[in-house]
Amino acid sequence: MSYDWTKEAQSDGPTQTEKLPSGTHDVEITRVVFGPKDGPPFASRNGDPQIMVIFADNEGREASQMVTLSRKAGWVLAKVLRAADVHLSKMTADGIKPADFANPQFATANLVSRRLRVRVEWARSERDGKDYADVMPVATGAAYQPQSPQPTPATGDNIPI
């Protein structure tokens, strides 16, 4: 089947990004979402700030993960950062806390463009019937070589502008 250039030129593009299929994938964090466009920032039931991290493979297929930015739930973000080869002990020494990632400039500087390997499993929610991804960072060791250099973590003093 040939590609219909005329039809595509009149299209507004895909209505929804293709989902990253279940399995293990090399991905890049392409963006961080802090809340709905016209609404308040994401927050957990307990009122802790949350962010949505969007992962995409080289084909543009995506999966997202909600991350709660509290001390108790910080392990989720820590696993993402470790899989992306972030220097975690430096973050500890610099006093960076999970809640610091609620700052859009800080989170974007420290998360977007990071490459890592993840395992994705999709499950249907009994509550609303929608499919949600469970994105689990995979510790890769020497087997995984990022395609691009990893950015240096930004502190409050050196956030790129």
Instruction: Classify residue 6: in a domain, yes or no.
Output: no
* Core vs surface per residue 139-157: b (16+ CB within 10 A) or e: ebeeeeebeeeeeebbbee
Instruction: Classify residue 8: in a domain, yes or no.
Output: no
**Enclosing domain of residue 118:** 21-137
Q: Is the full-model pTM beyond 0.85?
A: no
Instruction: Classify residue 112: in a domain, yes or no.
Output: yes
Instruction: Classify residue 101: in a domain, yes or no.
Output: yes
Instruction: Classify residue 142: in a domain, yes or no.
Output: no
pLDDT digits (tens, 9 = 90+) for 86-114: 999 999 999 999 999 999 999 999 999 99
pLDDT digits (tens, 9 = 90+) for 116-144: 999 999 999 888 988 888 999 997 754 34
Instruction: Classify residue 148: in a domain, yes or no.
Output: no
The alpha-helical segments, DSSP class H, found in the chain are 5-9, 74-83, 88-93, 104-111
Instruction: Classify residue 16: in a domain, yes or no.
Output: no
How many structural domains does the chain have?
Answer: 1
Is the per-residue pLDDT at 151 higher than 70?
A: no
Q: How many percent of the chain have pLDDT more than 90?
A: 66
